[in-house]
Each structure stands twice: as C-alpha cells, then as structure tokens.
C-alpha cells in the first residue's frame, strides 16, 4: 500500500520539471499587486531553515509577481510552528497579500493529531512545494569505527547524545532511523534551532547530529573539510517509482536505506520501516510549502503559481538555488497539489506505530 501512495508523488516529481515555464494563467486573470506589500508568514524563528528558504525566495518572488509588490517575511514562531499555522487558519483570503510557508514541523503535529493543531491543510491552497533532504553525521573518531557500507554494528555500545528540538518534530525521522540501526541515542531537548544542535556537536557535547540539506551545505561542510565531522548517511530522495535513491545533492553519500541494509538487525521492510518511510516522505521530499489562505480565487492561485514558475525559469536559478537550497524539486501547480497530498495523508498504521513509539520511548503523550 505504500507503493501506491508513493506513485502520485513520484509522478509529481517528474512532472515538476515539465511544469516550469508552462502558462498556468489565462490572460487578464492575474491579480495586480502593485503598491502592495505581501506578507509571507513563517511560523518559525529567524534562525532556521525555513527562514533561509523564505529569504531566498522573497526578493525573487517580488520581481516576478505582477506589480512587483514588496515581499516581507514575517516570523511568527511559537508552539512548534502550530501557533503560526493556527493564525493562518484564522485568516480569510483578502487581496492576496498574505501567504504562509509551512514546514515538516507543521506537517508532523497535524499528522500526529497534536492537540494544539487547529488548522486543516485541506482548506489551504498550495502554490509551491520545495523538497529537501537531510544528512546524519558523526565525529571523526566514531565515523572511523563504522563498518562496511556505513554498518552501525561497531557503534552499538556507544552512548550517543543528540541536541533535539523535540521528538514530535522533524527530529522524529533521524531519531527513528538511529533507533532502527540499534543505536543508543539520548536526545537532549530544549534546543532552539538546528543551528544550536550543530553548535552542541561542535562543542563535543553531542556526538551525533543531523541537518537538513541547506544547513548541512553551509554549516557542516566546513567541519567536514576541517576533519571534525564526517557525513554518515543521507535520508535519500524519491525516484519516479517512489523508491528511495541517493540524494542528488549528495550523490557520494549512502542513503539510510543502504546503511540499514548493511547493518544487521535493521530491516528495510516491516512496520518500522514503513512508518519511517511514510514520515520521511511527509517531512522531506515536500518539506516546505507555500499556501494562500482559504477561499483564494483561481486568479490568485494562478498568479502565484505563475510567479514561482517564472522564478524557476530565471537563467541563473539553477546556480543561485544550488548553493542556498540544494538540488531539489521545486513543485508548482498540480505537482505541488500531489506533493501536498502525499505529505499530509499518511496511512493510519504508520501514524499508530509512531504515536505508540513516541509514548513508549519518550513518554510523549499527544492529547
């Protein structure tokens, strides 16, 4: 049943490239935003990956929207992004000057029926879905002990410390992955952003960490060059058939799937694997999405879709986005719609498995 689910997303990924530059807009139906200010709500603080992503797109979007409105990124952190999302849920479409940027950390509480969630993805109108990946890395001495193909067996006796933002956040994906490999990882909660987690790793207090692709590129690559950090595995990317393959941004790194196969006791099938993959798909290949509020008319959706298409059609887009976002699909139109569905519709068994695991392993009770 998982393969069935992957297929639409996989199609979406293929279609995405074709979508760039297509005219989604009938003439004369665009909304005019001249002289206006578009507020782009990001439900996180200024330090995270979402901030980087929005700050990357904001000026480009401003150039491509009709009337060249000023695009301002507003940060509304709180309650693990559910606060900003709840706020956005309360808004009604007015003149197209408010957009919302969600992230995996907004999707997960929604999937896990967090009591704070008062928003419904189905009400919103997606205009962009950006994928990303993630990389898990180790200090050089521990990485040196890894077996062939990243086999985790030699590290089973190690006490791992990980600076975590919370087990119900995106951290769920690496935590579950490490647990499947048999590692003893103790998360230290209360970290304010993944940047603080990296600092904890640099100080030698944490000895395992993960970063999303863009943060890995800017923050960890210098450590890798200095020899203090060694990448272990990437979470991978999805191919056209919904299989996990190597991440195109990190083609030389094994994926978690490969490492899991190389490690005795880690299975790439069964309940745990299915749940991991479902949450990976919900959290990474369509991690960050841009929405217009409930009730947005076709013209507004088309205008934004068109603008995001135009951004990606820029001659220098490949070059400037590679350094800032990594090489990941940026989906618009129906491809974004499909990505949204696969990111927010996770099978009940996977949800049950994760909810149960969270309560048994971390004592996290949602409700």
Q: 14 and 240 in contact (C-beta within 8 Å)? A: yes
Concatenate the DSSP letters of all residues of 235-282 into one string. --EE-TTS-EE--TTSTTSPBHHHHHHHSTT--SSSHHHHHHHHHHHH
**Mode of pairing for the β-strands spanning 37-42 and 70-75:** parallel
Instruction: Give residue for tokens 């450590």.
Output: 223
Q: 141 or 186: whose CB is closer to other proteins?
A: 186
Q: 159 or 252: whose CB is closer to other proteins?
A: 159
**What are 290's strand-pairing partners?**
101, 128
Q: Which two tokens stand for residue 95?
A: 């003149």
Q: Which of 143, 294, 327, 364 binds other proteins (CB under 8 A)?
A: 364
Q: Is 186 in the site for other proteins (CB under 8 A)?
A: yes
Q: Is 365 in the site for other proteins (CB under 8 A)?
A: yes
Q: Is 58 in the site for other proteins (CB under 8 A)?
A: yes
Q: Is 295 in the site for other proteins (CB under 8 A)?
A: no
Running DSSP on this structure, what letter comes out for residue 79? G
Running DSSP on this structure, what letter comes out for residue 219? I
| Binding characters for other proteins, 163-182, by CB under 8 A (x = yes) | ---x-x--------------
Q: Which of 90, 122, 154, 204 binds other proteins (CB under 8 A)?
A: 204
In the three-class reduction of DSSP (H, G, I as helix; E, B as strand; rest coil), residue 342 is classed as helix
| Binding characters for other proteins, 209-248, by CB under 8 A (x = yes) | ---------xx-xxx-------------------------
Q: Is 324 in the site for other proteins (CB under 8 A)?
A: yes
Q: Is 202 in the site for other proteins (CB under 8 A)?
A: yes
Q: 284 and 263 in contact (C-beta within 8 Å)? A: no
**What are 163's strand-pairing partners?**
188
Q: Is 46 in the site for other proteins (CB under 8 A)?
A: yes
Query: According to CB under 8 A, which residues from 96 to 115 bind other proteins?
Result: 115
CA 147: distance to chain centroid? 29
Q: Which of 11, 79, 91, 310 binds other proteins (CB under 8 A)?
A: 79
Shortest separation between residue 277's beta carbon and other proteins, angstroms: 26
CA 66: distance to chain centroid? 29
Q: Is 310 in the site for other proteins (CB under 8 A)?
A: no
Q: Which of 3, 17, 37, 113 binds other proteins (CB under 8 A)?
A: 37
Q: Is 314 in the site for other proteins (CB under 8 A)?
A: no
Cα maximum dimension of the chain: 66
Shortest separation between residue 365's beta carbon and other proteins, angstroms: 7
Concatenate the DSSP letters of all residues of 265-326 into one string. T--SSSHHHHHHHHHHHHHTTT-EEEEEPTT--HHHHHHHHHHHHHHHHSTTHHHHHHHHH-
Q: Which of 2, 20, 86, 317 binds other proteins (CB under 8 A)?
A: 86
User: Where on the chain is the footprint of other proteins (CB under 8 A)?
Assistant: 37, 39, 45-47, 51-52, 55-56, 58-60, 62, 70-74, 78-80, 83, 86, 115-116, 159, 161, 166, 168, 186, 188-190, 195-196, 199-200, 202-205, 218-219, 221-223, 320, 323-324, 362-365
């Amino acid at each position: 049943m998982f393969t069935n689910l992957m297929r639409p997303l996989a199609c979406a990924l293929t279609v995405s490239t074709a979508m760039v530059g297509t005219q989604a807009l009938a003439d004369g139906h665009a909304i005019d935003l001249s002289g206006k200010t578009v507020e782009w709500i990001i439900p996180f603080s200024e330090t995270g990956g979402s901030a980087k992503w929005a700050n990357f797109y904001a000026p480009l979007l401003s150039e491509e929207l009709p009337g060249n409105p000023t695009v301002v990124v507003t940060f509304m952190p709180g309650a693990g992004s559910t606060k900003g999302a709840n706020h956005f849920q309360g808004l009604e479409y007015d003149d197209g000057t408010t957009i919302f940027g969600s992230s995996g950390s907004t999707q997960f509480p929604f999937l896990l029926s967090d009591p704070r969630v008062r928003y419904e993805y189905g009400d919103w109108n997606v205009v962009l879905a950006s994928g990303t990946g993630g990389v898990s890395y180790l200090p050089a001495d521990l990485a040196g002990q890894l077996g062939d193909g990243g086999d985790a067996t030699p590290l089973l006796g190690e006490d791992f410390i990980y600076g975590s933002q919370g087990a119900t956040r995106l951290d769920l994906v690496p935590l579950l992955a490490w647990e499947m490999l048999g590692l003893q990882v103790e998360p230290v909660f209360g970290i304010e952003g993944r940047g603080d987690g990296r600092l904890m790793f640099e100080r030698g207090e944490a000895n395992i960490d993960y970063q999303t692709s863009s943060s890995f590129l800017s923050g960890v690559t210098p450590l890798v060059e200095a020899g203090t950090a060694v990448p272990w595995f990437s979470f991978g990317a999805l191919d056209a058939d919904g299989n996990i393959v190597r991440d195109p941004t990190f083609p030389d790194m094994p994926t978690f799937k490969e490492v899991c196969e190389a490690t005795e006791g880690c299975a790439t099938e069964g309940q745990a694997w299915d749940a991991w993959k479902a949450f990976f798909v919900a959290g990474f290949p369509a991690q960050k999405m841009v929405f217009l509020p409930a009730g947005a008319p076709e013209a507004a959706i088309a205008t934004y879709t068109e603008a995001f298409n135009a951004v990606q059609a820029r001659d220098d887009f490949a070059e400037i986005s590679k350094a800032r976002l990594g090489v990941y699909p940026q989906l618009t139109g129906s491809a974004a719609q499909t990505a949204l569905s696969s990111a927010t519709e996770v099978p009940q068994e996977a949800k049950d498995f994760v909810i149960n695991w969270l309560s048994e392993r971390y004592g996290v009770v949602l409700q």
